[in-house]
Structure 1
Amino acid sequence: MKKIMLVCAAGMSTSLLVTKMEKAAAAMGDEVEIFALPISEGEKRVGDVDCILLGPQVRFQKNTIEKAMDAAGVSKPCDVIDMKDYGMMNGEAVYKKAKAMMGE
């Protein structure tokens, strides 16, 4: 089962997006684990996931996540969620982006 981690400032604002992404995945018949964490926790979990998406409000932290991956000796797809998709809570678009990042 694929795991997608969303990283945001406090892990709260992204929880609604996680729910919408889970609904989109279910509608596509995909089994996937999606969860959101604040940046401080996300750094510790980079080795546990298949894809990392950062909320637009923490785009400046992408380097922090990349350094954490280097330190853990892992390489995972990592990108910032599109601001429009985040603002509209477009779970389907964000999930499709994650799938594309994982080569699906």
Structure 2
Amino acid sequence: MPGTRDVVNELIGKDSVVIFSKTHCPYCKMAKKVFESLKKPYTAIELDNREDGQDIQDVLNEITGARTVPRVFLNRKCLGGGTDVKKLYDSGKLANLF
């Protein structure tokens, strides 16, 4: 799947915060809310609105070790999922990563 991997790498590099998400996912909403609270813009890639959503999740699994959403990237580094981001936010550590 070199094509999909290239797409994922390009998407991750597009913005300092990139959230691979699904529109109906409560954990995705939680992750987005964290960045809204910090007033940090993010790019959300809604996988359930994309033809290649499943392929992207497969590549995310290869890159991050999990295919669950959200997969949150900050400066090309995966922070994990919704609860991981919320923990970083609650501890005050997330703001220091910018």
* Normalised-by-shorter TM-score class: 0.3 to 0.5
**TM-score relative to the length of structure 1:** 0.37
**TM-score relative to the length of structure 2:** 0.38
